[in-house]
A and B are shown apart, each in its own frame.
Chain A
Amino acid sequence: MTGYLYEKDLRQMKYNILTSTKHDEAVRAIARRLGTSDAKLRMVLIRQFDMSLLENLESRWEMGQQHADNDNDPVAEELGCELFTRFVPLVDARVMQTICDETRAMIGNESSRDEAIARGKARVREAVLS
């Protein structure tokens, strides 16, 4: 049995957390960065994150913009490799690494850089929303 005793539906409370002024701004910024709608991202956040992580979303996002270094790799930078795995843990680290490597390989092969980055971003979005 994996269910907890005294469990309550937390969705409304999580939504309350996400809709306070600063958190709403952070959610909108993340949605813009990922290129998805706010409502969809909110749904994912409510499903995946626990309440403490939701409360801390805003400061984690802020720190991610300041400190995510990505080892001076422009591809990882644009896909938000470190940002979405360690600062705002929306994507599994291994999945992110595969996406990153394959995007880099695509750039090395034949297709144009912009196209490869766009496809990489789409895959990150997919990984987040799945």
Chain B
Amino acid sequence: MKKTVDVSIPLGPVHPCWKEPVRLKCETAGERVLRTEVELGYMKKGIERIMRGRPWQEVMFLAERVCGICSVIHNMVFIEAMEEISAIAVPPRAAYLRVVVNELDRMASHILANFSYCYTIEHETLAMYLLNTRETVLDNLERITGSRINTAYMIPGGVRFDLLPEDAAAMLADLREVEDKMRRYTGIFETGPLIALRSKGIGVMSREEAIRAHTVGPTARASGVEDSDLRLRHPTYRELGFTQVTRTEGDNFARIMVRFQEVFQSIDLIRKCIETLPEGPIRGGGLCRAGEVSYGGEAPRGELTYSIKTDEYGRVVDIAIRTPSIMNIEACAHSMIRDVTSIADVTSTFISSDPCIACNER
């Protein structure tokens, strides 16, 4: 990009606040940031190129290794896209179990995002509280799927493991505990005067800018974009009566609060799922066929789209993945960070949009 001023401050790729390598080059006047440039390429693995020409059995595992934090939803969207192509029906029990696992993953991801924000603004106490709560959530994920991160829980026509009644009871007890804790932490975050100083009115993104850059997920919802949650269109979530969280401030505080509120929403959804879990099989049958589809699902960070083309043996001929972080990082770097008054706010604003570089670059 063209340079406008002489003072350029590069942040990264190895930076104490960032979990993943990315480089921001901020052009500043004094401490005010005029414009930011993002340098990527640190995580470009070319996973779409690897996926081409491989059978779905392999691509299924590759898909969840696009991103480790939100691996469940990558798996889910790919599998549901394959089901859409081949017209495979899912048993109702399996559909509900998918929601349970997906929401657990969303909780873990949101809590991790809020942890990194609190860590970045140096509120380490709250950060450690949140990280410990996340472990409880991951325990429950492990209880159902047998793995903490890359679960590979869903397969076309159902899920791999059933939820046993005793596991369900233990999970409900854990969720109660998590809910109590999260209420307390949300209160701490909401009322903390020093947190407000670092968060409120910083990194503001207007609704127009959010739409222009096609931001999705909590970042868009914090800026007041209505109807930006694909769960509203998912049949199982519709049955459960899902409604979207929206805030209008569009600053760092709003983005973190949206995530806190969505954690409670996820807890309610899981409870409802377990209470109304239908009886029946967890695996149907089916054959993956040729076809072409573009299918979207709501990842923790927003809308995730898989455009897949398969041949008659179920091999993936062509694939394009559009992950939420692509839009969110771009909007964050070019809209939110543009006018922050201090370099110290650059990192916190960047983290508040929950950037996932592995998703972004694939």
Contact = CB atoms under 8 A, between A and B. Distances in A.
Direct A–B contact in the complex, CB atoms closer than 8 angstroms: yes
Interface of A: 2, 4-5, 8, 10, 13, 16-17, 20-22, 48-53, 55-56, 58-60, 62-63, 67, 86-87
B278 interface: no
B307 interface: yes
B307 A21 contact: yes
B10 A51 contact: no
A56 B38 CA distance: 12
B316 to A, nearest CB: 12
24 contacts: A4-B25, A13-B41, A21-B48, A21-B318, A22-B322, A48-B2, A50-B37, A50-B39, A51-B38, A51-B40, A51-B41, A52-B326, A52-B330, A52-B334, A53-B38, A55-B40, A56-B213, A58-B322, A59-B213, A59-B214, A59-B322, A60-B330, A63-B212, A67-B211
B154 interface: no
A18 to B, nearest CB: 12
Contact of A55 (B2, B6, B8, B360): B360
Contact of A20 (B211, B320, B333): B320
Interface residues of B, number: 32
A52 B360 CA distance: 8
B353 to A, nearest CB: 12
Interface in B212-230: 212-214
Contacts of B193: none
B43 to A, nearest CB: 11
B8 A10 contact: no
B1 A2 contact: no
B19 interface: no
A71 to B, nearest CB: 14
Given A13-B41, A21-B307, A48-B1, 18 more contacts: A5-B10, A21-B48, A21-B318, A22-B307, A22-B322, A49-B1, A51-B39, A52-B330, A52-B360, A53-B38, A55-B329, A55-B361, A56-B326, A60-B212, A60-B214, A60-B330, A63-B213, A67-B211
Contact of B326 (A49, A50, A55): A55
